[in-house]
Amino acid sequence: MVVIPTYNELNNITKLIPDIRRILTNSSYSYQILIVDDNSPDGTAKAVSEIQRSDKRVHLLKRPGKMGLGSAYVEGFAWALSNLRFDVLVQMDADFSHPPQDIVRLVAAVEEGSDVALASRYVEGGGSSRWPWHRRLISKGANFLAHLLLGISVRDITGGFRAMNRRAVEKLMSYSLNSRGYSYQVECLVVFEKLGLKIVEVPFTFESRRAGKAKLSIREVFRFARSIIRMSLKGVARKDAQATKKWERQI
Ligand SMILES: Nc1nc2c(ncn2[C@@H]2O[C@H](COP(=O)(O)OP(=O)(O)OP(=O)(O)O)[C@@H](O)[C@H]2O)c(=O)[nH]1
Ligand SMILES: [Mg+2]
């Protein structure tokens, strides 16, 4: 199953869904696609509803407003766990930065025994194509900060193209993830490494977004740095641990 958060991705999503469908139909895997849309003003959700009419394997979770990539994934994963049957879950961007044909290699890596497979720019054979220097710098800086403060061992910490088995998704959802924005990708890895899950990096080439506007702002960069610092100081707690703390405070 493939989960895709969208905000103003009309011109990408109407092409991406058919591409994923074609690629997975031609592979040995069955597919389901979940779009988590934050009431995009460009009508992304309406276009997805149209596609849904002829394809029951496409699902749509509509949220009232833009609440951040991380929170879209958390809601999407929780919805998928309670409503759909799947063995492997793939998360990816809607803008073709994550080439849909690489889904098959990621899923295969999980089927071969890894809990989590990361599409990675920073292992041999991986890279970024046609990315401006300032975006490369932000990406490298974000990875450097996360390595330094959190001691994560994988190379591409901030990438958002990943596959994981159902057990990994279930475990992840038992944690209280605080990242609403881009640091979500890092927070998940903190949890996965803490749990000792088997993580593999699969090289891929990150492409520039095909259509639509970039959403990464300076505000998001600062928010990311703040989240990494918070994680390094406080870690990431399980939901029940948090509940216990609250209870302790009450008595
Ligand atoms: N539902 C939801 N999706 C979001 C939100 N912010 C970003 N997205 C989606 O998350 C994915 C990644 O966001 P992008 O805007 O592509 O971020 P990026 O790749 O760092 O930046 P550019 O591709 O250069 O714009 C895309 O599919 C976006 O549509 C949000 O607040 N809510
Ligand atoms: Mg993008």
Question: pLDDT tens, 98-139?
Answer: 999 999 999 999 999 999 999 999 999 999 998 888 889 999
Q: Which protein residues touch ligand 1 with a CB less than 6 Å away?
A: 5-7, 9, 36-38, 66-69, 72, 93-95, 97, 209, 214-216
Please identify, by atom number, the ligand 1 atom nearest to the C-alpha of residue 182: 20
Whole-number pLDDT of residue 242: 63
Q: Which residues contact 82 (CB under 8 A, 6 or more apart)?
A: none
Query: Looking at the 3D structure of the chain, how many domains does it have?
Result: 1
From 181, 188, 169, 190, select the one nearest 79 (Cα to Cα): 169
Q: What is the pTM of this model?
A: 0.93
Strand order in the sheet with 199-203: 58-62, 33-37, 2-6, 88-91, 162-165, 116-120, 199-203
Range of the domain at 181: 2-250
With a cut of 80, say whether residue 173 has pLDDT above it. Answer: yes
Residue nearest atom 24 of ligand 1, based on CA coordinates: 214
Please identify, by atom number, the ligand 1 atom nearest to the C-alpha of residue 12: 27
With a cut of 90, say whether residue 243 has pLDDT above it. Answer: no
Whole-number pLDDT of residue 248: 55
Phi-psi region of 200 (alpha: psi -120 to 50; beta: other; left: phi over 0): beta
> Which residue among 2, 7, 79 has the greatest number of ligand 1 atoms within 8 angstroms of its CB, and so is best to mutate?
7
> Which residue among 215, 218, 219, 224 has the greatest number of ligand 1 atoms within 8 angstroms of its CB, and so is best to mutate?
215
d(CA 71, CA 223): 14
CATH classification at residue 109 = 3.90.550.10
Strands 116-120 and 199-203: parallel
Whole-number pLDDT of residue 17: 98
Q: Which amino acid is at 140?
A: K
With a cut of 80, say whether residue 215 has pLDDT above it. Answer: no
Whole-number pLDDT of residue 132: 86
